[in-house]
Chains A and B, each alone.
Chain A
């Protein structure tokens, strides 16, 4: 028995024989700063492996995950991928969670000529490193989150279009990226910026920021926010009785706690989202149902991003017909670069830097629930504009 195990270990799946599993190597922050999202990503990968194996695996072989814990540490993540690729000889590697760990991990994968699909590198710098094997498996980077909304607003007849917008963004690459992506597009379309506020992440009082926005009487307010600042700013705006025609905030409105936090005065508030359990894409319906059966609660965005990563890898492996280290990896990279992949977050394609070419869905609070309003092909209800008073 021992001999058999050693034999298998040495082989490591590299031979690609039809009996061996396809081993997927992953390093994840299961402890430390990113352990909460890290565990979500782990569940997403596990769901992908189980659903794939239940259907007979990839190329007729079972999928096996080899997960190491990098303790949210960038040095550990490098050592982990060195071990997975060099010593453990895994067939495929996929990415960890957060830009801070994705970049060093991608560097190792690049060095070994491995395909590197990753679930969590939305910041610009990921795509500025010159990686040739990296693909971000999500609909869009932060700057493109509001693209569908920008298109919708600019397509409105001139009389109805908002003419002035107030922006308030947290000093954070992700939060600021979302607001400034929309700002650039609306300004290019002739919509005037009347307030442009940036606040540090430790801001606790939003009274004066809200006063500036209210005093500008802007038609629309856009928050480049995380959770707590988004909630505090919305309440501060409501306290000043500011009534915009449209209010869009990133992150906060999609949180399960949101409605209770602002006293259910949510009607009409918009938010971009990379994932929703309600998206009608066929693989998503299957994912939500089987994931819920496996883990007892429906998947959130981190889980979905990991699952999407698995779907992208699976599509390439199936199309190319191989998964081992060596020449096969370049074929996988070339295939993904030239093709569209259907996933739980919709169809994905990538540019030369690995940046996804999509946009986030836009959700709006309508009738006491957050519902998809854009893009048209995924919408559950029509966008309400101007929004009702809050």
Chain B
């Protein structure tokens, strides 16, 4: 029987991990919601942002968090371009399937370019507070994990307010719910969709920076992330940002707690078990309501 201290520590670690998962999955569910695009390259963009954070710290001496001043707008722009120049050209009938192939190619391209530019050597941001931690009733909270969690909270809250409280958010949600009706109301759905895609990719810039704070990065790392992230957005309900957030927190917590009795290998399967259960019993997702209808 694990001690209470270990359980408490694992709950804390699970919640922190879940927060990071939520941030990393947010963009992924948005793309699908906006235009039924399965964005395999999302995690490759996360790693790209992580490399840019590492590079700006190692070469320019800039705090990795400051790198977001450049990467967030840069990724927004890239997202808009990607949607306009490539994804918008796919035929609507085969869009979902073809987007898998197209974004798979983009992921491989990013991985190759990262390997070319930075070599396959594994990198880690060397922060003075990398191994610092705070005490909480006997448990420890790593400062870098807390910063990553804070970034996730701020980014997700911003995203939520953007979707709920702004004209752009209303237009985006209208585009998601009924593109034809949205067009009849005078919404430029193409423009809205490309901006929505940009917002999704901007979250990858934040997520990649958060990831880089506490992990060793290398060009092919994104393949380890895409599976769990896909599982999260399906369980959460495709297109639902709060659904993805709830699913991410829950799966992070369950994974962390299951690791105590079962070990790492089996605890990781929780993502795929949840994915199977969702597809079998509630294909629209457990937390997101009807497919892509709600935020």
Known contacts A203-B264, A240-B133, A263-B130; A215/B17 CB under 8 A: no
Question: Are the CB atoms of B126 and A260 closer together than 8 Å?
Answer: yes
Question: Are the CB atoms of B263 and A240 closer together than 8 Å?
Answer: no
Identify which of residues 239-273 in chain A touch chain B, using a CB-to-CB cut-off of 8 Å.
239-241, 257, 260-263, 265
Q: A201 — nearest CB in chain B belongs to which residue?
A: B224
Would you call B259 an interface residue if the criterion is a C-beta within 8 Å of the partner chain's C-beta atoms? yes
Question: Are the CB atoms of B215 and A211 closer together than 8 Å?
Answer: no
Known contacts A197-B263, A239-B140, A240-B133; A207/B126 CB under 8 A: no
Question: Are the CB atoms of B264 and A198 closer together than 8 Å?
Answer: yes
Closest Cβ of chain A to B19, distance in Å, is: 12
Known contacts A239-B133, A263-B131; A208/B256 CB under 8 A: yes
Q: B140 — nearest CB in chain A belongs to which residue?
A: A240
Chain A contact residues (Cβ within 8 angstroms of B): what range?
20 to 34
Selecting from B8-16, B80-88, B158-166, B174-182, the interface stretch reads B8-16
Question: Are the CB atoms of A208 and B215 closer together than 8 Å?
Answer: no
- The answer for the CA separation of A265 and B130 in the assembled complex, in Å, is 10
Residues from chain A with a CB closer than 8 A to the CB of B2 are: 215
- The answer for the CA separation of A245 and B3 in the assembled complex, in Å, is 22
Identify which of residues 170-209 in chain A touch chain B, using a CB-to-CB cut-off of 8 Å.
171, 197-200, 202-205, 207-209
Question: Are the CB atoms of A204 and B265 closer together than 8 Å?
Answer: no
Would you call B221 an interface residue if the criterion is a C-beta within 8 Å of the partner chain's C-beta atoms? yes
Question: Are the CB atoms of B122 and A208 closer together than 8 Å?
Answer: no
Would you call B173 an interface residue if the criterion is a C-beta within 8 Å of the partner chain's C-beta atoms? no
Question: Are the CB atoms of A200 and B142 closer together than 8 Å?
Answer: no
Question: Are the CB atoms of A198 and B126 closer together than 8 Å?
Answer: no
Question: Are the CB atoms of A231 and B124 closer together than 8 Å?
Answer: yes
Question: Are the CB atoms of B264 and A261 closer together than 8 Å?
Answer: no
Would you call A379 an interface residue if the criterion is a C-beta within 8 Å of the partner chain's C-beta atoms? no
Closest Cβ of chain B to A228, distance in Å, is: 4
Question: Are the CB atoms of A198 and B265 closer together than 8 Å?
Answer: yes
Identify which of residues 220-236 in chain A touch chain B, using a CB-to-CB cut-off of 8 Å.
227-228, 231-232, 235-236
Closest Cβ of chain A to B51, distance in Å, is: 14
Specify which of A199, A205, A214, A262 is in contact with B131 (CB 8 Å cutoff): A262
Residues from chain A with a CB closer than 8 A to the CB of B121 are: 257
Q: B20 — nearest CB in chain A belongs to which residue?
A: A205
Known contacts A208-B259, A209-B259, A239-B133; A228/B264 CB under 8 A: no
Would you call B295 an interface residue if the criterion is a C-beta within 8 Å of the partner chain's C-beta atoms? no
Would you call B69 an interface residue if the criterion is a C-beta within 8 Å of the partner chain's C-beta atoms? no
- The answer for the CA separation of A17 and B148 in the assembled complex, in Å, is 71
Residues from chain B with a CB closer than 8 A to the CB of A390 are: 131
A-B contact pairs, 26 of them (CB 8 A): A197-B263, A198-B264, A199-B264, A199-B265, A200-B265, A203-B264, A203-B268, A207-B13, A207-B145, A208-B14, A208-B267, A209-B259, A211-B13, A214-B9, A215-B5, A231-B124, A231-B216, A235-B130, A236-B142, A238-B131, A240-B9, A240-B140, A257-B122, A257-B123, A261-B124, A262-B124
Q: Which residues of B contact A (CB under 8 A)?
A: 2-3, 5-6, 9-10, 13-14, 16-17, 120-124, 126-128, 130-133, 140, 142, 144-145, 214-216, 218, 221, 223-225, 256, 259-260, 263-265, 267-268
Nearest 8 pairs of A and B residues by beta carbon:
A238-B131, A239-B142, A199-B264, A207-B13, A215-B6, A228-B216, A208-B259, A261-B124
